[in-house]
């Protein structure tokens, strides 16, 4: 991770993609992982078909040999899109997954609010 100035948002090595690109990837089979809190999802809405993951349990939920692994996570090169309320939440998760060995992980510019505002699938 790098940062250009104290006021700038952090820049992560994991690709930052537009909500439209994220929705297209989702439509083509990408797994969308929502790392927002349950309260945030209840307040702002959800992405139908997304997977709720705990940002504090990434090893247990993502490592392929973990007995607690999310059933939807099957390959190191799987197309995975991380969504949070902003890139400050999704960026670190995407970065950690890349460091663990996942090769096709991106996160959404503007987070869930941008996803919803772009008309991508969402519900209350």
Q: Annotated active-site positions, please?
A: 84
8 A C-beta contact, residue 90 and residue 11 = no
CA distance 78 to 30: 7
Q: Length of the chain, please?
A: 124
- Rounded to the nearest 5°, which phi and psi values hold at 23? -65, -40
Determine the Cα–Cα distance for residues 110 and 7; give it in Å rounded to an integer.
17
Q: How many Å apart are CA 108 and CA 87, to the nearest integer?
A: 7
Give the residue from 2, 3, 6, 16 showing the smallest Cα distance to 91.
Answer: 16
């Amino acid at each position: 991770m790098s940062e250009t100035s104290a006021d700038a948002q952090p820049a992560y090595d994991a690709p930052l993609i537009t909500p439209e690109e994220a929705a297209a990837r989702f439509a083509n089979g990408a797994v969308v992982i929502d790392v927002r809190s349950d309260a945030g999802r209840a307040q702002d809405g959800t992405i139908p078909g997304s997977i709720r993951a705990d940002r504090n349990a990434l090893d247990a939920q993502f490592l392929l040999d973990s007995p607690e692994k999310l059933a939807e996570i099957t390959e190191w090169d799987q197309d995975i899109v991380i969504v949070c309320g902003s890139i400050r939440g999704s960026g670190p998760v995407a970065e950690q997954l890349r460091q663990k060995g996942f090769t096709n992980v991106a996160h959404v510019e503007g987070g869930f609010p941008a996803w919803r505002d772009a008309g991508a699938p969402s519900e209350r």
